[in-house]
Amino acid sequence: MVLDDIIYKGKYIGKNPPTANFIWHSCEKCGNQRWVKLTFGKPDNVICSVCSNTIKGHKLGLNNTGSKHSPETLLQMSLAHKGSKSPSWKGGSVITRGYREVKIYQDNPYYPMADHQNYVLEHRLVMAKHLGRCLYDSEVIHHRNENKLDNRISNLELTTRQIHINTHHIAGSNKKLYS
């Protein structure tokens, strides 16, 4: 039996959409056989994707050797849209759990305080710059006026986790605390 004569629904041959009709059809260029969707009773594509890409490559003037960029060009392309040069740049800061986080890079002396995405809590960065050193994980920064976005040095206080918890407990706050 010749498959060219039989039309199958996509759901019976594992093709999408499952309700569309498909026929076993040969590529007019290379003869490769594959399932082709029927549109108004005719095959959607008369040539296979390999032949189609070859034709598109020639039309665009591309060679099919897979030429590669030099390492210098790759570096230029990777740096072209990073950070403030990116079209989606939003100032390098985000608000997470009510705290402002800022993006820092490896050349920043406070980079060891950054998380895995190169963000550091702004209030910790402000205090670290004030002290002239990176903060230890055991050090906590308290916002005196409890406004998590008010990161003026006059509003920040360096403390330990236990003292910070006691400060909020005395104030009557049972909120979960973050440094």
Q: Are 123 and 141 in contact (CB under 8 A)?
A: yes
Domain extent listing, the chain: 3-59, 87-170
CATH class of the region 87-170: alpha beta
What is the C-alpha to C-alpha distance for residues 40 and 48, in angstroms, rounded to an integer? 19
Measured in Å, how far apart are the chain's first and last C-alpha atoms? 73
Q: Which residue has the higher pLDDT, 66 or 176?
A: 66
pLDDT of residue 179: 47
Mean pLDDT of 29-36: 87
pLDDT of residue 175: 54
* pLDDT at residue 91 greater than cutoff 60: yes
Q: What pLDDT digit, counting tens, does each position of 130-140 carry?
A: 999 999 999 99
What is the C-alpha to C-alpha distance for residues 121 and 116, in angstroms, rounded to an integer? 13
Backbone φ and ψ for 19, nearest 5 degrees, come out as -95, -5
Over the chain, what is the mean pLDDT? Answer: 82
Angle at 84 between CA 82 and CA 90, to 5 degrees: 110
**For the whole model, what pTM was predicted?**
0.50
Residue 72 in 3-state DSSP? helix
* pLDDT at residue 4 greater than cutoff 80: no
Mean pLDDT of 102-128: 91
